[in-house]
Amino acid sequence: MTEGEAAPAAASGQDQRNLVARVAAAIVLAPIAIALAYAGGIAWAVLVTLAAIGLFLEWLMITGLAREIRVVTPGIAALLIAGLCLMTGRIDAALIVLAVGVIALALLSGERRGWAAAGLLYAAAAEIASVLVRLDAVKGFAALMFVLLVVWVTDIGGYFAGRSIGGPKLWVRVSPKKTWAGAIGGFVASMLVAAGFAAFEIGTTGPLLVLGAVLSVVSQLGDLFESAVKRRFGVKDSSHIIPGHGGLLDRLDGFVAAVIVAAIFGFLRGGADGVGRGLMVW
């Protein structure tokens, strides 16, 4: 085998190992996430709070602020206190705490105050939105699972369609491996999820298809946004905490974007305590 032939073979072997690691991690982590989502309440709020803190820390690592105590400490404190407020049902207090935290980082973070504040805002929005979508006792779990499944199948469909079909790149400067075929494959997969929910009468067909389409596109834009931030700072992975996936940011970027949009939409239709109904009942 020549050197030119060996390089693609090595790359193929690495890709196969990454795929096995991705599948193994998903098999372990997905049931845990679903179980805690089903439990709701404090259990879900604890997971969301820990994930939000992880997102914030990885954002700081990407932007070179992870060693700045004056940034790390108030940010984690704000997310933790907000999480405690969410566990007791005080969404208003959580919003106030997080707003104060963002302002504090903007004042204390020096030259990169914008990046520090943006990181906390990103994690805080994910924290609040994830709890709001699940909050409704009747439709909250269905709404949360809808968002999760749309994001998951968009990612999975995009991965396999992109690798099997290939073709023109989606946005080479930001994410060199993503293709239009992958984007379309992920979009089609999300439509199948929406159709499945409608078939089991969990929601109305037309609105769910529209919602699934919007969240699939938003999820992919969230992925591109995180890739753009990493490329801005010359970072490949946000961390290596999840085998085959990189870090929490790498794994949750699409979900963060989708759940924030879903929470806003559900809030506009159903209010703070009816976000799930706002998404699923038409």
**Could you read off the pLDDT of 231-274 as tens digits, one per residue?**
899 887 777 776 655 788 888 999 999 999 999 999 999 999 99
For 105, the token pair is 């980082």
Output the 3-class SS for 125-178.
Answer: HHHHHHHHHHHCCCCHHHHHHHHHHHHHHHHHHHHHHHHHHCCCEEECCCEEEE
For 71, the token pair is 């940034």
Q: How far is CA 153 from the centre of its chain?
A: 13
My answer on whether 83 and 220 are in the same domain is: no
My answer on whether 217 and 248 are in the same domain is: yes
My answer on whether 104 and 90 are in the same domain is: yes
My answer on whether 107 and 183 are in the same domain is: no
pLDDT score for 80:
97
My answer on whether 96 and 184 are in the same domain is: no
My answer on whether 87 and 142 are in the same domain is: no
- How far is it, in rounded angstroms, from Cα 47 to Cα 127? 10
Q: CB neighbours of 219 closer than 8 A, spacing ≥ 6?
A: 150, 151, 154, 155, 186, 190, 254, 255, 257, 258
pLDDT at residue 22 is higher than 80: no
Q: State which of 80, 106, 135 marks the end of a domain.
A: 135
pLDDT score for 9:
46
* Segments forming the whole domain that contains residue 125: 40-135
pLDDT at residue 6 is higher than 50: no
